[in-house]
Amino acid sequence: MRIDQTHRPWILRTGALFLLALLAYVPYSLFSYNGPSGGSSLGLIYGVAGYLLMIFAALLSVRKKFRIWRIGRAQTWMRGHLWLGLLSYPLIFFHAGFSWGHGLARLLMWIVSIVIVSGLLGAALQHYMPRMITERVPMETIYNQIHRVQEQLLGEADDLMGSLSPEQNEYGLIVPSSGPAATMTTTSTAVQLSQHSADKLRQMYDDTIKPYLAHRGSRGQSMADEATSKAMFAQLRTVAPDSIGTVIDDLENICQEKRDLDRQSRLQRMLQGWLLVHIPLSYLLLTLVAIHAIMALRY
Amino acid sequence: MNRPAEPASSTVQLTIDEKTVTVPLGTTVFDAARMNGIEIPVLCHQQNEIPAGVCRVCVVDVGGRAYQAACIRPAEAGMVVRTRTKEVEAARKTLLELMMADHPTPCVRQQHTGDCELETLASEYEAKGNRYPRREVARGRDDSSLTILVDHAACILCDRCVRACADLRHNFVIARQGKGYGAGIAFDMDDPMGGSTCVSCGECMVSCPTGALTNKGVVGQRLESGLSCETEDLLRLPVFEGVSGTFLDLNRGSVMKRRVKQGEVLFHEGEYGSTAFYILEGQMEISISSPRGHVDTERGASGLFNILKNKLVGRKEHRRVDENMARTHISIDAPVELAYDDPVGQLGPGDLFGEMTCMSFYPRSATARAATDCLILEMLRNVLDVLQKNKTFRAKLDNDYRQRALETHLRTVPIFAGVTTEFINDLRQRVELVRYAPGEVIFRQGDLADAFYLVRIGFVKVSENYPGGELVLAYLSKGNCFGEIGLLGGGKRTATCSALDHLEVVRIAADDFKAMLQQFPETRAKLEAISAERLRENQVRFKQVSTVPVDEFLRQGLMEAENLLVLDLDRCTRCDQCVTACADAHGGVTRLIRDGLRLDHFLIATSCRHCRDPLCMVGCPVGAIRRQNSLEVIIEDWCIGCGLCATNCPYGNINLQEFKVDGPASDELAALGAGQESAKKKARVVRKATSCNLCNDYPEPSCVYACPHDAAHRVNAADFLGGLAKK
């Protein structure tokens, strides 16, 4: 979600609420006898308000489960989550009188801080990263389908290599497997390929290209680096005849596509990764705050 | 002194190949020889035709300066004829070699039956034809007729077909056209044979000495055996009056007589088939058993409560009341229209039905069940084609249509729905049924408007020329009319209309149309309003197309999209809420995929594009898929779920969804006996085609509503592209 001028009404309203809370807090903190505390009337009001805003923010995930219920546009809920969730943070501080407290209260302060920071990080990522993905991944695919596309790429590469293998040639253009006149055939043409070139291509495919295509991600794979990949294919072209140039081009394109998929995966993980922190801690926070409230009110 | 003249002798005596023969005066040398057991080879002549002397293969030496064609040279007294001298044989061989040089060897006839007369004779004379250069420009084939294949390359211009058509059958369809290398046979005004007035009697085919005219037959289709259907039996039926026995002989097995017992279902709606039916005796009931209604949009397919609810209640049908207002009848592939609220019709002796399925292989539009014991004829498309071209049968069909079907047909057209009986009676004598072959142009944009048309069978493609190319506005099926804008407006056609398949239209000439409207000003007012509306839409569309960079857009079929789903990729976090919301709204099956064409930082997601050439509309047997005035493609609620539109959609944006209705189909109900009341209550599952309906029972499409990032938008294509162009 881009945070642009369409967010201005939310920013203004949130800012106004914050100022209101601040205006109430200043005399309260200056003139209260024991200083600001969570147990005072105003402190409780801040605490309850902060907790309600947290609950509202958490309801976004419920709203997302019931996508077609006409209970307000998802976009409105998302903006409310962002700005009202953010507003809960100063309210909690007003509630605690800017004290980090001890025990459970301290833990809660840490958790709420992490939740808020992770949320802000998420908002920043969602602001910048969609454009980055659009620019860096021109042939984007559906994220859930990436592994399927990867399997298809591997299949295509195997087929390409298979088409160079005499045993699998559908036209039966069999060629001696050794000697200087050894021939490899593609499905469309029979090409003369020296034993050296054949070995080189097969070895590069088996040792480097195939593992890279089969591997999820790019860690430890030399082909993951574009410059290295280009250099390897360029070297291969010097020993292979022009007639299999198209096969090499296709293999190089397949590797390029795999790199795009890996990049998309990586960017997508970055875009969604903060949720792994934000969501569990949010639920933990809500639970612990409820416990904190019960304990504080009871004891 | 003058002696009185002797009466002329009635016979002549001449010598042929050293044999003295006497023949009646006026006999040709060819006949004189044949009568006396002397065979003279010939290609252009056969006994039942008047000789023309064009092939010259029958040349003989009669002692003159030049050889004479025996088939046209009259025998004379004292004539000495030599038919087999070395020189005559050499001349014949040269002629055969010249013909063989242009002949595709082996021709179709030689391949199939081995009796091409030219190739047989050439083989006898060892004339191969390779001494002379072959023609460089192919003369082509005419595959337009359903019954006869015309291979112009195999034609030797013998004129046997021309004489057979004119002299024997008095049809006068075939003639010679062109001269020199351009010479050939032609049908009517050089029309394709299938589009000419040829009645497919088959006489030309049996007269042709080569493979230039051959019987096509119907490949890969066979009728189940029925009652005896010998040619003699068929010819005794009034329906085959005037049909060539030769044709029926050649196409034995293409038509069968059948008995259908009362209650027996002949075919079900949505089934595929390839035959048409003609009722000889009895009554058939024809009906649509699929309920009127759309698949209802579900309020959420996820969550325990919704899953339980959907399991227990099932999907429901849903009537869009606003769409049904104008339709009182549903058009089907039969000479009756079915009332919208009670879609059951009766067919009786003399009715022909299933023509669209037979000619164009569309699914059956309704279920046919025998109301009484019936005797019917089932036929393949070659027989149906011949029947439809048969003058006697056509006259009967035309008359039946005027008397019985015109009124209900007119009432299916919304603008004529409320016309008076007087109006119909006035129209009855003015209409003409006209047929068009697939691809044939009915009129072009800019032509003078000379008639008004109603579609009776088949589909009409309506297109306009734009700077970016041709734009298909609509595919009109039965129940639609066209041509009124030209007649009511400036007198010029504003679009090109052509036959998409085997088409039959009801034509009302311009003068009759205008006279009729003068008499009935109310109908005129309705037509003028519709005409003005369509003209306005044309102008708006033209403006849109002229101001927008359309190349890629047109190529992708996006131009006419009134409601494209556009995703702003700079905002979209790829969370797929839009896709899952769509699936939730439509029973777990999404109608959009977050993939498609990218323009700048926008993604045009794959959902119904309302294409400029909406192929999904082609072939709907009940005309249930159409464009609205806003150009959105919608599926009417009388869809029978045959799935043809889903198959035709190149983008996979139409799905078939199932939902439960209570009670068996009408044909099943009829088949149930007494005491099976419980079975009548049993629910059944029916299928309906669905495409993106913009969640029209919600104020906003679910995909847009569920997007938390303000990335999904439904936009007008032209506005959207216009905005991009300004950037």
Is the predicted pLDDT of residue B632 greater than 70, yes or no? Answer: no
Q: What is the model's pLDDT at position A184?
A: 39
CA gap B205, B536 in Å, rounded: 52
Using DSSP's 3-state secondary structure scheme, residue B14 falls into strand
Is the predicted pLDDT of residue B549 greater than 60, yes or no? Answer: no
How do residues B636-664 score in pLDDT, each as one tens digit?
777 888 888 888 887 777 878 776 666 55
Q: How confident is the model at residue B665 (pLDDT cuts 50, 70, 90)?
A: low
End-to-end CA distance of chain A: 43
| Amino acid residing at A40 | S
Lowest mean pLDDT among B412-416, B489-493, B614-618, B708-712: B412-416
CA gap B619, B475 in Å, rounded: 9
- The distance of A196 to chain B (nearest Cα, Å) reads 44
Q: How confident is the model at residue B628 (pLDDT cuts 50, 70, 90)?
A: low
Q: What is the model's pLDDT at position B80?
A: 93
Cα dihedral B139, B143, B145, B146 in deg (nearest 10): 150
Is the predicted pLDDT of residue B559 greater than 70, yes or no? Answer: no
Q: Give B296's contacts in chain A (Cβ within 8 Å).
A: none
Q: Would the CB atoms of A142 and B594 count as touching at under 8 Å?
A: yes
Is the predicted pLDDT of residue B2 greater than 50, yes or no? Answer: no
CA gap B414, B525 in Å, rounded: 13
Q: Which residues contact B359 (CB under 8 A, 6 or more apart)?
A: B276, B381, B384, B385, B457, B458, B501, B502
How do residues B264-294 score in pLDDT, each as one tens digit?
999 888 888 888 999 999 999 998 877 666 6
CA gap B53, B191 in Å, rounded: 27
Please state the separation of Cα B387 from the chain's center in Å.
Answer: 14
Q: What is the model's pLDDT at position B561?
A: 57
Please state the separation of Cα B37 from the chain's center in Å.
Answer: 51
CB nearest to B709's CB, from A66, A68, A78 = A78
Q: What is the model's pLDDT at position A14?
A: 95
At A12, list the tokens.
């203004």
Q: Would the CB atoms of B702 and A133 count as touching at under 8 Å?
A: no
- Which residues of A lie inside 8 Å of B (Cβ-Cβ)? 1-2, 6, 60, 64-70, 73-75, 77-78, 126, 129-131, 133-134, 138, 141-144, 268, 271-272
Nearest alpha carbon to residue B400 among B431, B369, B421: B431
Using DSSP's 3-state secondary structure scheme, residue B451 falls into strand
- Whether the link from the prior residue into B106 is cis, omega within 30° of 0, is yes
Most confident of B174-178, B306-310, B607-611: B174-178
Using DSSP's 3-state secondary structure scheme, residue B135 falls into coil
Residue of chain A whose alpha carbon sits nearest to that of B584: A68
Q: Give B303's contacts in chain A (Cβ within 8 Å).
A: 65-66
Lowest mean pLDDT among A55-59, A172-176, B305-309, B600-604: A172-176
**In the A/B pair of chains, how many CB contacts fall below 8 A?**
86
Q: What is the model's pLDDT at position A254?
A: 92
Is the predicted pLDDT of residue B122 greater than 50, yes or no? Answer: yes
Contact B622, B330 (CB under 8 A): yes
Q: Work out the burial of residue B414: count CB atoms within 10 Å of its CB; fewer than 13 is exposed, 13-18 middle, 19 or more buried.
A: middle
Q: What is the model's pLDDT at position B338?
A: 83
Mutate to test the interface with A, among B571, B590, B598 (most CBs of A within 10 A): B571
Q: Give B710's contacts in chain A (Cβ within 8 Å).
A: 1-2, 6, 75
Contact B150, B193 (CB under 8 A): yes
Residue B136: count of CB within 10 angstroms of its CB: 6
Mutate to test the interface with B, among A5, A62, A68 (most CBs of B within 10 A): A68
CA gap A137, B616 in Å, rounded: 33
Lowest mean pLDDT among B13-27, B165-179, B645-659: B645-659
Using DSSP's 3-state secondary structure scheme, residue B148 falls into strand
Q: How confident is the model at residue B197 (pLDDT cuts 50, 70, 90)?
A: confident
CA gap B93, B163 in Å, rounded: 26
Q: Would the CB atoms of B299 and A69 count as touching at under 8 Å?
A: yes
Write phi, then psi, for B606 (nearest 5 degrees): -80, 100
- The distance of B573 to chain A (nearest Cα, Å) reads 6
CB nearest to A131's CB, from B570, B574, B706 = B570
Q: Would the CB atoms of A143 and B584 count as touching at under 8 Å?
A: no
How do residues B434-461 score in pLDDT, each as one tens digit?
888 788 899 998 899 889 898 888 888 8
DSSP B448: B
Q: What is the model's pLDDT at position A185?
A: 38
Q: How confident is the model at residue B524 (pLDDT cuts 50, 70, 90)?
A: confident
End-to-end CA distance of chain B: 117
Contact B68, B88 (CB under 8 A): no
Residue ranges of E strands in B130-190: 141-142, 148-151, 174-177, 184-187
At B547, list the tokens.
């101001």
Nearest alpha carbon to residue B330 among B620, B53, B685, B124: B620
Residue of chain A whose alpha carbon sits nearest to that of B571: A1
Show me where the domains of chain A are located.
5-139+272-298, 143-269
How do residues B61-117 score in pLDDT, each as one tens digit?
998 888 999 999 999 999 999 999 999 999 999 999 999 988 888 888 888 878 899
Reported ipTM: the value is 0.81
User: Which residues of chain A are modeled with pLDDT < 70?
Assistant: 165-197
Contact B565, B712 (CB under 8 A): yes
- The distance of A154 to chain B (nearest Cα, Å) reads 22
CB nearest to A68's CB, from B299, B574, B601 = B299
Residue of chain B whose alpha carbon sits nearest to that of A139: B598
Q: Which residues contact A262 (CB under 8 A, 6 or more apart)?
A: A217, A218, A224
Q: Give B307's contacts in chain A (Cβ within 8 Å).
A: none
Dmax over CA atoms of chain A, in Å, equals: 100
Identify the residue with better confidence: B412 or B248. B248
Contact B30, B58 (CB under 8 A): yes
Q: Would the CB atoms of B303 and A65 count as touching at under 8 Å?
A: yes
Q: How confident is the model at residue B700 (pLDDT cuts 50, 70, 90)?
A: confident
CB nearest to B577's CB, from A67, A138, A144 = A67
CA atoms within 13 A on the CB side of A275: 10
